[in-house]
Amino acid sequence: MLTRNNFLALTVLALVALSQGSVLPQNRGAAAAESGKGGRIVGGQEASIERLPYQVSVRLDTNTLLHICGGAIYAPRVIVTAAHCIKGRFASTIRIVAGKSSILDDDEGYRVSKLIHHSGYNKKTHANDVGLIILAENLAYSASVQPIPLALAKPNKGETAVVSGWGKSDENAASLTNQLHMAELSIVDSEYCNNQYASKSYAITEEMICAGVEDASKDSCQGDSGGPLVVNGKLVGVVSWGIGCAREGFPGVYASVTYHTPWIEENAKLYV
């Protein structure tokens, strides 16, 4: 399985030639060459940024700004994202674009001063897939740019969750979507999710949560990595990984924000 940010390298090599879905677990970000996965929301609908003002686009600053991941605004200078989106990168090459519904804008974005990934992040097991992007200057809050609070408690099985991003519409799509999408999912029982992934020799640990729908018609996908999973207006998860996208029996897997709240607060305290 790949994390949901694994199409970036292919994006850099060929803007529309992202890697295809894999039978292996994949990150759900834009560095496809690393794990073969990246993404847009599967089975979702277009949404304006005013509806999801906490959502940001994490971009790689090359000759142009390329969307590689999503993120969520925690504080004026702090973005919560996935560790696999930023590990091994330099702050000087990352920009944050906030308040935009499309990734085709010509926004130069906000400069980044520091990248902080969880020291316990494990690429093979996807453990501790959480990170922070520290901006060089404060975001300008508006109707389309707003922070989201961290959830105080882990969501219950069956609760409605909203995932959003610019990821692929299905795991075999050639490119990301240009317009922000969102989808309503349900929190999946952790024991069931673990049993499903155990059949592929992967473990769902206490610092992960799963979300999907019974008919597997909706999911996060490549390019959505690092983006927000929200329940009742609070951040409960960070798009992390999964086996393919919207595959029956394999819900998307998210880093649990509640589990990682102490880490987030400790590492963000100097910047809030």
Does a structural domain hold residue 258? yes
Active site residue 57: no
Which one from 35, 67, 84, 260 is the annotated catalytic residue?
A: 84
Does a structural domain hold residue 12? no
Does a structural domain hold residue 3? no
Are the CB atoms for 42 and 221 separated by under 8 Å?
A: yes
Measured between alpha carbons, how far is 67 from 12 in angstroms, rounded to an integer? 10
* Total number of domains constituting the chain: 1
Q: Which residue range(s) make up the domain with 145? A: 45-269
CATH number at residue 177: 2.40.10.120
Does a structural domain hold residue 34? no
Does a structural domain hold residue 27? no
pLDDT given at position 248:
94
pLDDT given at position 1:
55
Does a structural domain hold residue 30? no
Active site residue 129: yes
pLDDT given at position 29:
64
Nearest to 207 by CA among 127, 151, 148: 127
Which one from 57, 129, 224, 260 is the annotated catalytic residue?
A: 129
Q: pLDDT 10s digit of each residue in the chain, 272 long?
A: 557 665 443 333 333 333 333 345 778 665 432 333 333 388 889 999 999 999 999 999 988 899 999 999 999 999 999 999 999 999 999 999 999 999 998 889 999 999 999 999 999 999 999 999 999 999 999 999 999 999 999 999 999 999 999 998 878 777 788 999 999 999 999 999 999 999 999 999 999 999 999 999 999 999 999 999 999 999 999 999 999 999 999 999 999 999 999 999 999 999 99
Which tokens in the block code for residue 242? 């999964």
For the full predicted model, state whether its pTM sits above 0.75: yes
Does a structural domain hold residue 85? yes
pLDDT given at position 173:
77
Does a structural domain hold residue 7? no
Active site residue 107: no
